[in-house]
Structure 1
Amino acid sequence: MGRALKAGLAYFALIFAAGFALGTLRVLVLLPRMGEAVAVALELPVMLGLSWLAAGALIGRFAVPAGAARLAMGGAAFGLLMAAEVGVSVFALGRDIAGHFGHWATLPGAAGLAGQVAFGLIPWARR
């Protein structure tokens, strides 16, 4: 399982960095022009495509076997992503914890959460 956890850490780091860059563009460029729902809808397929590519590359690099090990890889990455999202939401955006979780009740928040769950499952889904 050590390889799976290392791969999960790398997977999280790559996608979090990409998400931070694309999220900045989403907030500064797309959101003011199109609204949050459209901005998230445009960003989400790009992030999932990058996740698919990154997961495949890291599965090969770390030789993560199919099945439970890939589920562990995605689960570790998902857990790290959820922790990082709370940190950014609270410390950078000034939301409280209730506001962070409450955002999931909105269309953009629910779409983002669905994308994050998909991100966590992609390593397992890769053949």
Structure 2
Amino acid sequence: MPKVIQAGLAYGAIVLGAGFLLGLVRVPLLVPRIGERWAELVEMPIMAVVIDRAAGHMLRRFPDICSPISALITGGLGLALVIAAELTLAGVLQQRSIAQVISSRDQVSGSVYLVMLLIFAAMPRLRLPRHQACASRDHGA
């Protein structure tokens, strides 16, 4: 399996796993106290850190993805995995269609979630300039 595919799947799995674990706290503990919108918004900065760290980890673990196109492919594959998993779980566990899943999102937290998905897809590419292994590789070191 090409390294970029491995990196994309691993990146998606890390972020998906973190989101699942945070959901185990958010749904039973936060949603009843502060509501779904605020519980999701509280989770977003934590997920932003997870995304940033996971992207950095992928760049260290898979130095072959230290090119702009490979980093974008990694992010895109990770995004595809996360979206496919979320829609599949919603369909299987909650018996909801894709349209129902999308329409049920809160306008505020759903909009922030959409932005976070775009950041997630772009983060491996965004991390390239400040990633030591990639920067030193680009300068022949």
The TM-score, its normalising length taken from structure 2, stands at: 0.83
| Alpha-carbon offset, residue 104 of structure 1 | 4.3
Q: Distance in 1 between matches of 2:106 and 2:50?
A: 26
Q: Distance in 2 between matches of 1:94 and 1:44?
A: 26
Structure 1 runs (4+) deviating above 3 angstroms are none
Q: Distance in 2 between matches of 1:40 and 1:68?
A: 31
* Structure 1 counterpart of 2:67, one-letter code: A
Say yes or no: does 1:9 pair with 2:9: yes
> 2:49: which partner in 1?
49
Q: Does the aligned pair in 1 maintain the 2:37–2:106 contact within 8 Å?
A: no
> 2:61: which partner in 1?
61
Unaligned runs of 5+ in 1: none
Larger Rg: 2
Q: Distance in 1 between matches of 2:78 and 2:42?
A: 23
> 1:25: which partner in 2?
25
Identity %: 34
Q: Distance in 2 between matches of 1:91 and 1:113?
A: 22
> 1:107: which partner in 2?
108
* Structure 1 counterpart of 2:113, one-letter code: G
Residues 98 and 19 of structure 1, relative CA distance in 2, 3 Å threshold: same
The TM-score, its normalising length taken from structure 1, stands at: 0.92
Deviations 1:74-99 (CA, angstroms, capped at 9, x unpaired): 00000111111101111112322211
How many pairs were matched up? Answer: 127
Q: What RMSD over aligned residues (CA atoms) do the two structures have, in Å?
A: 1.6
Q: Distance in 2 between matches of 1:84 and 1:111?
A: 19
Q: Distance in 2 between matches of 1:113 and 1:52?
A: 16
* Structure 1 counterpart of 2:24, one-letter code: T
2:95 aligns to what SS in structure 1? coil
